[in-house]
Amino acid sequence: MNARRWVGLGVVFVIATVGIAAALRLGPEVAARFPALPAGLISGGVAAGLAFGLVALAALVEALARDERPADTTSQGLILKFNQRTVGVLDEETLARAAGDLLAESLQVRVSGWLLLTPREAALTVRPVPARGEFPVVPLEFARHNVLLRQLNQRHEPVRQAELEADAHYSQTPAAERQWLKQLNAEVYTPVFEGGLLTAVLVAGPREGRRPFRPADLELIALLAAQTGAAWKAIQLQNEVRQLQAAAVQLEARLREKDEAVVKMDNSRGDFLAIASHELRTPITQLLGFADLLGSMARENSLDVETVVQITDSIVRACARLNEVINQIMDMAQLDVNALDLKFKTCTLDVLLRPAIEPYVPAMRERRLALRITGLKDLPPLQGDEHRLVQAFSQLMSNAVKYTPDGGKIEISARLLPAENNLPPHLELVFADGGIGIDPRYHALIFDKFFRIGSSSQHSTSTTKFMGAGPGLGLPIAKGVIERHGGRIWVESDGHDPARLPGSRFYVRLPLKPPAFDPRALPAADEPFTGAAADRLRDSRPNIPRTPFIET
C-alpha cells in the first residue's frame, strides 16, 4: 500500500472519529428536542448517516487508489525508462512495442499503435504499426483534407476521439476513412512533426475501466510521442547510412569491374588491330604468293592442269577469307550506325539452321563433335531476314565448335514461347556446348565489339580450331542482327574451367513478327500462313541432313 492510500485512510479515520464523537455528544440534545420520537430511532438515524458518510469516503479513497500512477511516471522517469528500453533498437516494430508497453504501465492503455504517413501527389499513405493489443495493420490512403490530419496540423497537440467526431467535417469524411479510423478503437491521437510536417501519429486506445484521460495524461502521451518520433528518425538515419554504405560498397565493386572492363577493352582494341591486320595480311600474303608462283611456273612453261587447279583453289580460299573479314568489319560498322539493311520474308528455323551448320560439318567430323538438334518439329514460321539470321546462327555455331574440345557435344534446341505479359509469341533457340565455359564477369562483355577472352596469342585464322580466337566481331554481329529483329540474345555459364568443362548456353529469342515489321515488305505472291498454306509449308521444309553425329 503506497503513501496516497495511507493518506486517504487517515482522512477517513479522522472524519469518522470526529463524526462519532459529535454524535455521542449531541445524541441526548437531539432526543430532548424530539420527545415524541423513540430514542432508538434517533440513534439509528445518526448511525445510518455516519455509515453513509463512511461508505462515501471509502469509495473516494478507492477511486483515488485506482487512479494512482507509479512514482516513476513523471516526465523525467518516463524519459529515463524509454531511453533504457530503446538503447540499441534498430527497427520500428520493436520501438513501437516499447512505447506501447510504457503506455500500458504508466496509464493502463490497453491498445496502442502508430500511423506512419507518407505523402503522395494528392493523398497520404497511412501505414499502421502495432504497439500493443489488437491494432489493424492494413494500410490506407487518406485525402490531404482528412479531418484527423487537419485537426492535428492545426492544433499540434493530442486530439480526443470525441473532439474528432464533434467536428462538423467529420460526417463529410469518406466512409472508408471513417470505418478505418473506427477499427483503431482510439481514444487519443497524438501528432509527431518533423520539420513542420506531420509524419506520424501515436494512437492510444481506452484505459482500464474506461477511465478518461486527464490533461496530465495527455502531456505524458505527447512527451512519449515526441521521444519516440526522435528515436524513429534516428533509426531511419541509421538505416539510410547502412544503405548508403552498402550502396557505396556495391558501387566500388562495379567501378572496379568497370575499370577492369575498360582495361580489357583497351587491350582488346589493341589486339583487334593486330588480329585484323593479321586476318587481312594472311590472305593477301597467300594471294601474292600463289600469284607469284603461278607467274613463275608460266614463265618456265611448267604448268599443268592439276597444279593450276590447286593454285586457283588456294587463291579462291584466300579471297573468300579476305572477303569474310572485310564483310564482318563492314557489318559491324553498319550496326554501329543502325544502317543494317534487312529484307524481311517468311522463313523457318530449320531452313535458317541448315546453311548455318553445314560449313562446320567437316570440322565436326574431324574433331568427333556430336551435334543434337531437337524441337524443330511443328514450329511456326517467322518473319526475318534469312541471310542475316543465318549469319547470326553461324557465328553462334562457330563459337560452340571452337570452344568445345575434341570428342565433345553440342546441342541445339528450339521451342515456341506463347504470348504473355504483353509480349508477342517468340521462338527460343538455345546453342548449348560442353566446352570450357565463360566467366560470369564476361557474360555481357563478350557481345561488345573488339572484346575477346584470352590472349591474342591464341588467335587463329581457323574458324573451327579448338580455342582458336577470331577477330572478336562474331558475337557482336550476332547480337546486332538478333536485336534488329526485335529479339534478345544472352549467355549463361557456370564459369570458365578447361578441366571441368561447365559449357555455355547461348539463348536467342525471336518474335514471330518483329515489332516494326511492315507486311508490305513481303512479296505480293505470298500466301497467308494459315490453314492449308501452313500445312504445305511444313511439308515442304527441307530437313537438316542426318549424319552420324546429328540427330533431329
Which pLDDT score is estimated for 522? 40
For the ranges 103-107, 174-178, 254-258, 456-460, the lowest mean pLDDT is seen at 456-460
Residues 283 and 461: their CA atoms lie apart, in Å, by 10
Find all residues with CB under 8 Å of 287, minimum gap 6, and list them: 315, 318, 319, 322
Question: Average pLDDT over the chain, rounded to whole?
Answer: 77
Residues 103 and 99: their CA atoms lie apart, in Å, by 6
Stretch (H or E) spanning 340: none
Which pLDDT score is estimated for 234? 84
The grid cell for 313 is 583453289
Q: What's 60-118 look like in SS3?
A: HHHHHHHCCCCCCCCHHHHHHHHHHHHCCCCCHHHHHHHHHHHHHHHHCECCEEEEEEE
Which pLDDT score is estimated for 421? 78
Greater confidence, 233 or 351? Answer: 351
Find all residues with CB under 8 Å of 458, minimum gap 6, and list them: 467, 468, 469
Phi and psi, residue 176, nearest 5°: -65, -40
Residue 465 pLDDT more than 70? no
- Amino acid identity for residue 451 in this structure: F
Which pLDDT score is estimated for 168? 83
For the ranges 1-5, 184-188, 275-279, 320-324, the lowest mean pLDDT is seen at 1-5
For the ranges 18-27, 152-161, 283-292, 323-332, the lowest mean pLDDT is seen at 18-27
Residues 180 and 357: their CA atoms lie apart, in Å, by 67
Percent of the chain with pLDDT over 70: 70
- Amino acid identity for residue 499 in this structure: A
Stretch (H or E) spanning 339: none
Residues 375 and 389: their CA atoms lie apart, in Å, by 18
Which pLDDT score is estimated for 551? 43
Residue 488 pLDDT more than 50? yes
Residue 354 pLDDT more than 90? yes
Confidence of residue 191 (pLDDT cuts 50, 70, 90): very high
Burial of 330 (0-12, 13-18, 19+ CB in 10 A): exposed
The phi-psi region of residue 433 (left if phi > 0; otherwise alpha if psi is between -120 and 50; otherwise beta) is: beta
CA torsion 198-201-202-204 (nearest 10°) is 130
Residue 409 pLDDT more than 90? yes
Question: What value does the mean pLDDT take over residues 464-478?
Answer: 70
Residue 231 pLDDT more than 70? yes
pTM for this one? 0.45
Residues 72 and 218: their CA atoms lie apart, in Å, by 16
For the ranges 55-69, 71-85, 129-143, 407-421, the lowest mean pLDDT is seen at 55-69
Identify whether the C-beta of residue 318 lies closer than 8 Å to the C-beta of residue 288.
Answer: no
CB half-sphere exposure, 84, CA atoms < 13 A: 8
Confidence of residue 406 (pLDDT cuts 50, 70, 90): very high
* CATH 3.30.565.10 for the 340-551 domain, yes or no: yes
Identify whether the C-beta of residue 115 lies closer than 8 Å to the C-beta of residue 204.
Answer: no
Question: What value does the mean pLDDT take over residues 95-101?
Answer: 87
CB atoms within 10 A of CB 346: 18
Whole-number CA gyration radius for the chain:
45
Cα–Cα distances in angstroms (integers) from residue 290 to residues 266, 303, 314, 317, 357, in the given order: 36, 13, 8, 11, 30
Which pLDDT score is estimated for 525? 36
Tell the CATH topology of 257-323. Helix Hairpins (1.10.287)
Question: What value does the mean pLDDT take over residues 481-489?
Answer: 91
Which pLDDT score is estimated for 13? 59
- Per-residue pLDDT reduced to its tens digit, 163-177: 888 888 888 888 888
Which pLDDT score is estimated for 226? 87
Residues 286 and 420: their CA atoms lie apart, in Å, by 54
Which pLDDT score is estimated for 352? 94
For the chain, the structural domain boundaries read 3-66, 75-240, 257-323, 340-551
The superfamily in CATH containing domain 75-240 is GAF domain (3.30.450.40)
Residue 487 pLDDT more than 80? yes
- Per-residue pLDDT reduced to its tens digit, 8-66: 556 665 666 566 556 555 555 555 655 555 555 555 555 555 655 665 666 555 555 44
Strand partners, 492: 505
Q: Any idea what the Cα angle at residue 412 is, between residues 407 and 418, rounded to 5°?
A: 160
CB atoms within 10 A of CB 509: 18
For the ranges 133-137, 156-160, 178-182, 250-254, the lowest mean pLDDT is seen at 133-137
Stretch (H or E) spanning 457: none
Residues 456 and 10: their CA atoms lie apart, in Å, by 103
Percent of the chain with pLDDT over 90: 20
Angle in degrees, 0-180, between the axes of helices 39-66 and 3-33, rounded to the nearest 10: 160
Phi and psi, residue 172, nearest 5°: -90, -5
The phi-psi region of residue 439 (left if phi > 0; otherwise alpha if psi is between -120 and 50; otherwise beta) is: beta
Confidence of residue 81 (pLDDT cuts 50, 70, 90): confident
Residue 524 pLDDT more than 50? no
Residues 217 and 223: their CA atoms lie apart, in Å, by 10
Q: Which of 224-233, 457-466, 483-492 has the highest mean pLDDT?
A: 483-492
Report the Cα 428 to chain-centroid distance in Å: 26
